[in-house]
């Protein structure tokens, strides 16, 4: 379950793995990179301090720590982006890149069920 919205995590990619992808994307925007990554790392520090016994195993790094869902995490990053002078183009691109509807991915839904506890 997600610590923020209490919804079941259906696509368990942990915020740490997502950050790696966001970092890669931000190389295009050096003027935003430093400020945004600072915020993200603060956030990650906070959630690292939560000792979890019910974390979901991340499908990317196999660590048991995906306890903030991709939706809540990208929502947080989006809101931080909004505070920065990022502009409409960057905001739209972020939404395009990190739109976690997962329509275009081949993750198996069944695979996640056995790790949901
Ligand atoms: Zn959530
Ligand atoms: Zn991960």
**Residue 108 resides in a domain:** no
Rounded to the nearest angstrom, the distance between the alpha carbon of 40 and the centre of ligand 1 is 16
Q: Do residues 98 and 32 make contact, with C-beta atoms less than 8 angstroms apart?
A: no
Segment 84-112 mean pLDDT: 69
Residue 34, domain extent: 15-101
Helices in 1-117 by DSSP H: which ranges? 15-26, 30-48, 70-83, 87-97, 109-113
52 part of a folded domain: yes
**Alpha-carbon gap, residue 98 to 86, rounded angstroms:** 16
What spacing in Å lies between the alpha carbon of 35 and ligand 2's midpoint? 23
| CA pair distance 17, 57, nearest whole angstrom | 12
* 31 assigned to some structural domain: yes
pTM: 0.78
**pLDDT value for 54:** 65
Domain total for the chain?
Answer: 1
Classify residue 114: in a domain, yes or no: no
Read off the pLDDT of residues 32-62 as tens digits, 9 standing for 90 and up. Answer: 999 999 999 999 998 877 656 667 888 999 9
pLDDT at 30 over 90: yes
**CB atoms inside a 10 Å sphere around CB 47:** 17
């Amino acid at each position: 379950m997600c610590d923020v919205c209490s919804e079941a995590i259906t696509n368990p990619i942990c915020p740490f793995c997502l950050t790696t992808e966001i970092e890669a994307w931000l190389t295009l925007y050096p003027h935003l990179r430093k400020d945004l990554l600072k915020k993200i790392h603060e956030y990650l520090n906070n959630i690292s301090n939560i000792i979890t016994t019910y974390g979901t195993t991340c499908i990317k790094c196999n660590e048991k720590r995906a306890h903030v869902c991709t939706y809540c995490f990208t929502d947080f990053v989006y809101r931080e982006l909004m505070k920065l002078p990022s502009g409409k183009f960057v905001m739209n691109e972020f939404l395009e890149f990190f739109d976690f509807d997962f329509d275009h991915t081949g993750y198996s839904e069944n695979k996640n069920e056995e790790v949901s506890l």
